[in-house]
Structure 1
Amino acid sequence: MAVFLAFEEGVPTSLSPHPTDFGQRRSGQKSESSGLKIAPTQPSVVAHLPSGGEEKMASQQTPSTPEEWNNVSNDFWRMWNFPNCLGAIDGKHIVIRQPPGSGSYFYNYKGTYSIILMAICDANSNFIYVDFGVNGRVSDGGVWANTSISQRIINHTAGLPEDTKLPGSDKTLPFVFLADDAFPL
């Protein structure tokens, strides 16, 4: 199964969870697919997430070696004058219709029902990691803590580069991800 996200002026529209997926995806659990179906929409730009969930997408695009992460960092330095940066992380609530029988499971603090898209972008605003499908009541920090990339970083298996000297300095500092204060990095 493939998941298609329809975007119109940067905002996903007409998403609704598949009825059989309500109880399958709980915070911290991974499902093989997000269980989403798309209602008809007006002509728009469409992004495609391959079946198999975020693991498949992550394995296709997420840097996995120090050299690949250094390429991301070099772009942040060259384009934004920000050294030792490996990406920008944020979550986005994708508004959905309340699934029948779901109660408040997808209800979020904004007063809508949603599923969360968590992503890391490179200096060119390209997605280099995506996790999609956690219910909207979970915070960005809670979603992040349960992503595969977060677990790989904690377990030192993400292939991150060693601390390095800042450009034009003798000071050695670690690499960082940019995020707001919702992320306990």
Structure 2
Amino acid sequence: MEAMDWLDEEEEMVAVNAALLVLQYKSREYWIHPINERRHEFGKYHVLWPEISNDDNRCKMYIRMTMKEFEVLYNLLETKLRKQNTNFREAISPEERLLLSLRYLATGISCKSLGFEFCTGFSTVGEIVKECCEAIWRTLQPIYMPQPDQKHWKQIARQVQENWRFPHCIGALDGKHVQIQCPNNAGSAYFNYKGTHSIVLLALVDANYKFTWIDVGNYGRNSDGGIFETSLLGQWFASNKIDVSTDKPLTPTGQVGDEAFPLKRYLMRPFSRNN
């Protein structure tokens, strides 16, 4: 009996300490900041967006797309972005979540600034942008950037031949350094040859500059050629697993890249400028 009493006292102390921690936390922070509770009065989605959405030019300046394009994208993503209301708070609508994310992608503005604009918690903005970007990729990638097959590669090669007079080419390959603030404890991993910190977007595009394949997220210190070699597409080409035609005259067989890439059977690069 004494042992049971001792356990009850210990459990009671744990409960008391937990309650004190909760009270201490709530004394420092709001569950919802008073400003954010008035999102319907001050937030740009509720105040400014109804006016912008009626003007296509302003809409394109604000989110880089027309209202018609926004509606098409919204209809594709609505169910994926919808959240349930709870007893504690009203969920942010799918349309507002999409607008906030597109505003972030269109401007590169910080999550804190967007939080002030939309009267939303700063960490909530980051979660919304991440979830929305993932939903956009999962929904649109199979439609607009599916894995090309042999028929698709041949079509690209014909367009490159017609538009650019470059034969046997199924795409142009290059890397883009997306500048970032150096993450904590990252050392020189993201430091690139331009003297900034970045992650690399490596992309293959067709004759009309449209992406057919991308690799994003590599360290800025890595070269385009090194990233391509270790990428899924580079490994496919190196092991002949890519679905293109076999080598023969007047048949598309490879890609073009700049001097950052090695010369391969399936990759043409310009002559060196050294001599």
TM-score range, shorter chain: 0.5 to 0.7
Task: Find 2:226's aligned residue among 129, 135, 142.
Answer: 142
| CA distance in structure 1 between the partners assigned to 2:244 and 2:213 by the alignment | 14
More helix per residue = 2
Deviation at 1:59, TM superposition (A): 9.7
Deviation at 1:156, TM superposition (A): 1.2
Kept in 1: contact 2:167–2:252 (CA 8 A): no
Aligned residue in 2 for 1:83? 167
SS of the aligned residue for 1:100 comes to: coil
Number of matched residues? 144
Percentage of matched positions with identical amino acids: 31
Q: TM-score, normalised by structure 2?
A: 0.45
CA deviations on 1:74-106 (whole Å, 9 max, x unpaired) are 110111111110100000100001111212111
| CA distance in structure 1 between the partners assigned to 2:200 and 2:256 by the alignment | 19
Closer, same or farther: CA 129–59 of 1 in aligned 2, 3 Å: farther
Higher-Rg structure is 2
More strand per residue = 1
Kept in 2: contact 1:115–1:133 (CA 8 A): yes
Aligned residue in 2 for 1:180? 258
Matched AA of 2:195: G
Q: Which has the higher contact order (CA 8 A, sep 6+)?
A: 1
Aligned-CA RMSD value: 3.4
Gaps of 5+ in 2: 1-100, 112-125, 265-275
CA deviations on 1:89-148 (whole Å, 9 max, x unpaired) are 000100001111212111111110000000000000000001000010001111111110
Q: TM-score, normalised by structure 1?
A: 0.65
CA deviations on 1:142-183 (whole Å, 9 max, x unpaired) are 1111110111111111101122323xxxxxx76221101211
Aligned residue in 2 for 1:131? 215
Aligned residue in 2 for 1:116? 200
Task: Find 2:239's aligned residue among 144, 155, 165.
Answer: 155
CA deviations on 1:32-78 (whole Å, 9 max, x unpaired) are xxxxx69x9xxxxxxx8647x89x95896255422111011011011
